[in-house]
Amino acid sequence: MRHFVIVGVLVILVAALTYVGLNYMHLMPAEASAQSIPVDWLWNLDIDVISFLLALIIVPIAYSLVVFRRKKGDATDAEHIEGNTSLEITWTIIPLIVVLVFAYLGAYTLGEINVVDPSANEIQVKAIQWAWSFTYPEGFTSKELHLPVNKQVVLKMESGDVIHSFWVPEFRIKQDVLPGRVTDYRITPILIGNYMVRCAELCGASHSYMTAPVIVSSQADYDAWIAAQKASVASAGQTPEGRGGQLATSLGCRGCHTIDGSKLIGPSWQGLYGSQVTLSDGTTVTANDAYLIESISNPSAKIVKGFETAAPMPKFDLTDVQIQDLVAYIATLK
């Protein structure tokens, strides 16, 4: 009996220390969405139970190994205890009740996460290898996701190629983005700040780099940003290079081609126009209109040296005018 009392006290002590320690470490990132609150509530409950169970198993094993270890000169076997049915039933029934409670709580928190605000904003999300683009109700497309704080938004997400997954760690929720089907991501940001959406489902070579900024701002700042975007879209739409720049964003070209000279999956566009390009077969060509038009409409026709093993660029369904707009845009990137 004495042993059980000591072990009992130790279990409670170790469990409490584990719990305090784990909480002190701040296991989760900031809570930036209304949905993160029920998730973290359930998570903290998990941590309670985990701390207790860890102590409940480890402490008696350690205690027994130390206290009941074989004494010098003792060659006999230990006590013949075959089992105890009521004990077995106890540690079947109690965990059963605990897991049923947890399953219930899991369903309950899921319900809280899924609460629908009928007046939620709707933003279209398009994911392709390896870029996100966001089309706002106002009719323009951006590489950034801007959200007003304390207002529910529903993202209508679809993939153009393989499966991706939309995850902002601070929002807690994650949802796969599928080809040929629209999935919903419903979120209510509650904390102003800059976050990152990170693709969480392996989607090929540049999966690691498939991120996009998520900016949660006050309603006023949000409205100002929307207005500014609309104005710049309107002015950009006047010129071929402006339209080309918008296309480069909405199609996700810049997921692979940078405009600052750095190397991603494809060659950078900076200083590309008019330059001498060395191809994989060793020949060089001038990056003139004809070359760029061919490379956009038939991406695998000529491969630039150093990009042979990169994932091939997909074919886009573009009109001739769109292609010319893109070329005009590329020509501006000196």
Partner 1 sequence: MKKFFSSALWHGLLWQAIGWALGASFVTLIRVLMGLKPFATFGFTEPAWVFGGLVGALSFLGGSGVLTDWFKWAKGEETHENHQDPDGWEKFINISLDHKVIGIQYTMAALLLLVVGGIFSLIFRTELASHGLQFLSLQWYNTLMSLHGIVMIIGILLGISGVINYIVPLLIGAHDMAFPRLNAFSYWLAPPAAILLLSSMALGGFDTGWTGYPPLSVRAPVGMQMFFLGVIVAGWSSVLSALNVIATVLRMRAKGMTAFRLPIFVWAAIATSIIALTATQEIGLSFQLVMFQRLFGMGFFDPAKGGDPILFQHLFWFYSHPAVYVFILPGLGIISELLPVFVRKPLFGYRWIAMSSLGIALVGFLVWAHHMYTSGMNEYLRVPFMYSTLLVAVPTGVKFFSWVATIWRGKVTGPYPTAFLFVLGGIVVFLMGGLSGPPNATVATDLHLQDTYWIVGHFHDTLFGGYVLPFFAAIYFWFPKATGRRMNEALGRLHFWLMTPSFIVLTLLMMRIGLLGMRRRIADYDPSLGFDPYHLVMTIAAFIIALSVLIFFINFFRSITKGEPATGNVWNSRSPEWQVPSPMPAHNYEQPFEVVGEPYDYGLADSVYVKFAEKKTGGRN
Residues between 266 and 305 that touch partner 1 (CB under 8 A) = none
CA distances for 4 relative to 7, 10, 49, 79, angstroms: 5, 10, 21, 17
Question: Does residue number 96 form part of the binding site for partner 1 (CB under 8 A)?
Answer: yes
Among 12, 60, 191, 236, binds partner 1 (CB under 8 A): 60
Only segment of 26-34, 120-128, 239-247, 251-259 that touches partner 1 (CB under 8 A): 26-34
Question: Does residue number 28 form part of the binding site for partner 1 (CB under 8 A)?
Answer: yes
Among 84, 238, 262, 276, binds partner 1 (CB under 8 A): 84
DSSP 8-state class, residue 254? G
Closer to partner 1 at the Cβ: 180 or 282? 180
DSSP 8-state class, residue 300? T
Q: How many helices (H) and strands (E) does the chain have?
A: 7, 12
CB of 7 to partner 1, least distance (A): 9
Binding mask 109-138 for partner 1 (x = CB under 8 A): xx-xx-------------------------
CB of 27 to partner 1, least distance (A): 5
Given CA atoms 294, 296, 302, 306 in this order, what sign does their dihedral have? positive
Whose tokens are 């566009």? That residue is: 269
Question: Does residue number 65 form part of the binding site for partner 1 (CB under 8 A)?
Answer: yes
196 φ/ψ angles, rounded to the nearest 5 degrees:
-140, 130
CB of 130 to partner 1, least distance (A): 10
Question: Does residue number 201 form part of the binding site for partner 1 (CB under 8 A)?
Answer: yes
Question: Does residue number 61 form part of the binding site for partner 1 (CB under 8 A)?
Answer: yes
Rounded to whole angstroms, the Cα distance separating 137 from 135 reads 7
Residues 6+ apart with CB under 8 A from 234: none
